[in-house]
Amino acid sequence: MEIVNTEKKTVLSLIQPTGTPTLGNYLGALKNWAKMSEEYDCIFGAADLHSLTVRTEPALLRKRTMEIYALLLALELDPEKNIIFVQSHVPAHSQLGWILNCYTQFGEAARMTQFKEKSLKNADNVNVGLFDYPILMAADILLYQSDFVPVGVDQKQHLELTRDIASRFNSAYGNVFKVPEPFIGKRGARVMSLQEPEKKMSKSDANTKSFILLTDTPDVINKKIKSAVTDSEARVYYSSEKPGVSNLMDIYGSCTGLSYEEIEAQFAGKGYGDFKAAVAEAVIEELRPLQDKFNKLVTEKAYLTETAAVGAEKAARIAYRTLGKVMKKVGLWK
Ligand code: ATP
Ligand code: LTN
């Protein structure tokens, strides 16, 4: 049976197993993925090859990859209907990645702001993989003829590079790749640090109070939100002058579906104490079903291994079709 039919559009996204995902990863990306799985043919995966750009103890990387995989299943993404897989299980990603390297200019890759930021952060290990990271990401996307790629705002530039590579390749060789569109949600696309709300919430932040992890207990979530940085005005409204409060409003709105106006009305005349308590409660309730499912699934190693093997097989069927075409077009003996 064919998995990806021609009527439904294809949605693809991957997440790196670099640590425990945060509320930012969830509201910015994962929550949208879960919503899209009814309407689209979805392909979601763990980008373990991308994670090799940062040195990690091998056993830990393996454990995190399995955890991220369990988390994808916990989002209620049905592995029968969708493809849920691990990037390194489908070698076509590395193969197309190499070919696309030869169709990307050094100067284009050097413009990527995430590379500049990450090389400052990992100054002792600025490896070639870190530089090449967006081209492997382009391969992930183009192999599956993806229509939409749901990501947080920080990945927009990588998507633009992917589109450039695809269009250039298509003008040289005919229509080989579908040119994908980014899908960036209106809410939660950039959840900010709870301690420095000018910076994005990041799981690799040294200050553990700056993020909420998807595995945090209700008690920890309460404490972290209580200690979130706000301002001295004690009035809840959305403004670029109030990044801390605006970030909490964004989080609250993403969890409850309320608009900024509705939130302002709800907390009119109330202080930050009441507001923060409500935000914490909303986050706890939002994460509860996911956490319950995740905690159960993550202990079922045999099921995870089996499901990942099925996912890789389904993914490979699509990926190798595209790779075969590309190989022929560029003149590899096939
Ligand atoms: P790190 O936090 O270590 O910098 P990362 O979380 O950005 O890494 P990934 O784990 O690959 O990297 O991100 C997975 C998805 O989560 C991506 O689509 C990314 O855009 C999104 N994302 C990450 N952080 C945030 C955030 N603070 N707000 C909204 N979306 C985010
Ligand atoms: N680079 C992304 C993770 C990622 C990805 C992808 C996202 C790897 N391959 C393909 C969308 C499509 C990140 O750091 N968030």
pLDDT tier for residue 216 given thresholds of 50, 70 and 90: very high
Q: Write down the catalytic residue from 9, 31, 118, 270.
A: 118
pLDDT tier for residue 185 given thresholds of 50, 70 and 90: confident
pLDDT tier for residue 4 given thresholds of 50, 70 and 90: low
From 155, 165, 184, give the residue whose CB has the most ligand 2 atoms within 8 Å, as the site to mutate. Answer: 155
Spell out the alpha helix ranges (H) of the chain.
23-25, 31-36, 48-51, 58-74, 92-101, 106-110, 113-121, 128-143, 156-173, 218-226, 243-256, 260-266, 272-297, 301-330
Q: What is the per-residue pLDDT across 117-176, written as a single tens digit (0 to 9) for each?
A: 999 988 999 999 999 999 999 999 999 999 999 988 889 999 999 999 999 999 999 999
Question: For the chain, which domains are there?
Answer: 10-188+301-330 (3.40.50.620), 208-295 (1.10.240.10)
User: Ligand 2 in contact with 141 (CB < 6 A)?
Assistant: yes
Q: Write down the catalytic residue from 31, 203, 242, 314.
A: 203
Q: What is the per-residue pLDDT across 282-329, written as a single tens digit (0 to 9) for each?
A: 999 999 999 999 999 999 999 999 999 999 999 999 999 999 999 999
Identify the weakest region by mean pLDDT among 18-22, 172-176, 192-196.
18-22
User: Ligand 2 in contact with 287 (CB < 6 A)?
Assistant: no
Centre of ligand 2 from the C-alpha of residue 14, in Å: 5
DSSP state of 26: I
Both tokens of residue 172?
A: 């040289």
- Amino acid at residue number 84: I
**pLDDT beyond 60 at 236:** yes
- What torsion do the CA atoms of 197, 201, 205, 211 make, to the nearest 10 degrees? 90
pLDDT at residue 1, as a whole number: 47
